[in-house]
């Protein structure tokens, strides 16, 4: 029984370590949208990656306190193993949640929100901010 418990603990520990080192984890800067941009804190959420608005800035770069700080906008992005992810994206400016796709390559992240089963997508290119 102890061996089974130790094996389960080891498996859970290895799964957590793999997720913690996910390429998407960190702080990302969005593109300017509706006159402002944000820093998004991406972190593991179970076996997926989720992102919350950490800081907000006007288009000129001056920081301000948006009511959207703390809102989760990247929801349950499950890694596909090739730098791409599938999940959901929330857009605070219209209050809608979309089918989400994400691709990470080095210090670049491409986030897409899609409708019509993924046929029509809008995208943003983010850069690593920290």
Element (H, E) at 18: helix 2-20
Per-residue pLDDT at 56: 97
CATH of segment(s) 2-128: 2.40.128.520
Per-residue pLDDT at 61: 95
Per-residue pLDDT at 21: 61
pLDDT higher than 60, residue 101: yes
CA-CA distance, 66 to 62, in Å (whole number)?
12
Q: What is the mean pLDDT of the chain?
A: 86
Average pLDDT over residues 49-76: 97
The residues, ordered by sequence, that sit 6+ positions from 82 with a Cβ below 8 Å of its Cβ are: none
Per domain, the residue ranges of the chain are: 2-128
Per-residue pLDDT at 9: 33
Average pLDDT over residues 23-42: 95
Calculate the CA 29 to chain-centre distance: 11
């Amino acid at each position: 029984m102890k061996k089974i418990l130790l094996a389960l603990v080891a498996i859970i520990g290895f799964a957590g370590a793999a997720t913690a080192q996910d390429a998407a984890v960190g702080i990302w800067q969005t593109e300017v949208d509706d006159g402002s941009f944000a820093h998004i804190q991406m972190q593991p959420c179970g076996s997926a990656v989720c992102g919350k608005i950490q800081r907000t800035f006007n288009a000129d770069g001056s920081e301000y306190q948006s009511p959207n700080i703390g809102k989760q906008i990247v929801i349950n992005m499950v890694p596909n193993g090739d730098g791409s992810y599938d999940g959901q994206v929330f857009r605070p400016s219209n209050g809608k949640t979309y089918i989400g796709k994400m691709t990470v390559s080095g210090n670049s992240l491409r986030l897409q929100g899609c409708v019509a089963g993924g046929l029509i997508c809008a995208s943003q290119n983010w850069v690593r901010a920290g």
